[in-house]
Chain A
């Protein structure tokens, strides 16, 4: 059991990281972005391509410390994050911004995001095929902790990077002027507009952050397991469950929700088949919706 909880924290860290951007978009534009999971897949695959390019460079071929992956992949994180953020901004400009402009309801945006999700997944299938891909091959070093817990060394890296990224975004939102304006828009768009904050510019920022964080989540999940075209879709239900548990637009709520969903999914495997994991997240989410629809940290 303690082992399952540790695995749950690893998985929950990735879900928490992915859900921050999702709840930010939800808070600011009222949109449930169904393509978020597939944007995660895109981020992971970009890192695969860029990483294998970098790995041809001599001094990037060595493994990073005790971890399974090489420097090429680690350096590839940066372009992958930037491309994913740029893609998120472009998707918003081409799809959701026109919808906002003619005052479509958030439900129309929700349906459109499903179209975006399929287009992205089709692209991944065409470029990389349906087969599994791996960032690296060979054995993965293990770490033996007390209580008989075995974790992979990579999982320490995953947790450190995930929470470092979360802290960075948190500091950005708490300390910088742009970050404060973003939170103001998320809290009350109408009031923020009256205060002279450019809502559309803040929405671009929100998409950039969401794109960057989901790319990191995708790459970390790729390190944890493997890359496959459906990996993001599988993540979507836990991501939605996490932000609904946390409450609309609440970063703290999304982080807590993500951890809860990760732990619940892994611990459930003690009694249920592992393939039921997405269903566990979903049933928790419905329970939250029925008992406390505004979420734990929700404002309404």
Chain B
């Protein structure tokens, strides 16, 4: 009995860690899409860059026998926090580059371009083994404060770390979005021409929004990498890296930071808990296919929310500046 409760608890802790990491992604997307109206469908790309940047910064270059099996262009062996900061910077730089090229494009064009960029990044990590070991990926990423408790309980510490990042980012965004800067972003979303007529440099603000959102996504990518300890290009697929996050933000409430977090927890619960129920009801021979029911669930949730409740569960509130 005691083991069972322990098992449930540890499952809940890893659930909360992943949901919180997704909540950070969802907050990043909310800056870009929710507040500025930029269609970033390449979250998986920033996810991958963040995760790989932190991995390359925090691990040492392989030596000895390991060097025969693992190829890694960079290995700085720096602490966790340096990795996270590096992930944010790398992801932000990529966003600036992408923004300079593609922000001239409108609406769906930007969406399709970002899908393509994310897929190209994944293909690049997959096909260029000299950079980060190709399809095998990197493993043995360090975990912060690892010696503090026995490995069995380590996830509790990591949950606290992730929640701290989530809280910090949430507070920073809530302040930022109520500042004059945030007002300009929303003005651009509502009417670009008007914002431009009011003397705002629309392109510059959109670029800032894209970069800020991408830096948040980079941080989330790094947090994911150090949680799972090993990363491969196969993780950063369009579903797992991009569209599930769109479903989260859409369900929770586009343009509302609380909604972004709520949506992440709900969709991740649907994704990770549905397997239990599915495995219980499907016949044994069907077990390998059953997890794909979740594809249908995610797809249907997205479509039904857009049809029935496009504002999401919470939806955007009237934003008034605080003095």
Contact = CB atoms under 8 A, between A and B. Distances in A.
Interface stretch (B13-21, B78-86, B156-164, B302-310): B302-310
A107 B108 CA distance: 6
B127 A276 contact: yes
A130 B295 CA distance: 13
Given A126-B293, A237-B115, A293-B109, A275 B127 contact: yes
B303 A119 contact: yes
A110 B113 CA distance: 14
A195 interface: no
Give the dominant DSSP class at A's interface. Answer: helix
A147 interface: no
Interface in A98-115: 98-99, 104-108, 110-112, 114-115
Interface in A107-149: 107-108, 110-112, 114-123, 125-126, 129-130
B222 to A, nearest CB: 25
A279 interface: yes
Contacts of B113: 282, 285-286, 289
Interface stretch (B97-105, B167-175, B204-212): B97-105
Give the dominant DSSP class at B's interface. Answer: helix
A275 B127 CA distance: 8
Nearest to A276: B123
Contacts of B123: 275-276, 278-279
A240 B289 contact: no
B72 interface: no
Interface string B212-223: 000000000000
Contacts of A130: 288-289
Given A111-B306, A129-B288, A276-B123, A117 B299 contact: yes
Contacts of B310: 104, 108
B243 A119 contact: no
Contacts of A275: 123, 126-127
Contacts of B115: 237
Interface string B40-67: 0100000000000000000000000000
A32 B112 contact: yes
A79 B66 CA distance: 56
A245 to B, nearest CB: 12
Among A105, A106, A107, A116: residue with most chain B CB under 10 A: A107
Contacts of B111: 32, 107, 110
Interface in B232-285: 238-239, 243, 246-247, 250
A289 B113 CA distance: 9
Interface residues of A, number: 42
Contact of B296 (A105, A110, A114, A119): A119
Contacts of A191: none
B294 A122 contact: yes
A122 B307 contact: no
Among B101, B108, B238, B294: residue with most chain A CB under 10 A: B108
Contacts of B303: 95, 112, 115-116, 119
B299 A116 contact: yes
B136 interface: no
A118 B243 contact: yes
What are the nearest 8 A-B pairs in CB distance? A122-B295, A118-B299, A115-B302, A119-B299, A282-B116, A125-B292, A122-B296, A115-B303
Given A119-B303, A276-B123, A283-B116, 14 more contacts: A105-B107, A106-B108, A110-B107, A112-B303, A114-B41, A115-B301, A118-B296, A119-B295, A122-B297, A130-B289, A240-B112, A273-B127, A279-B123, A289-B109
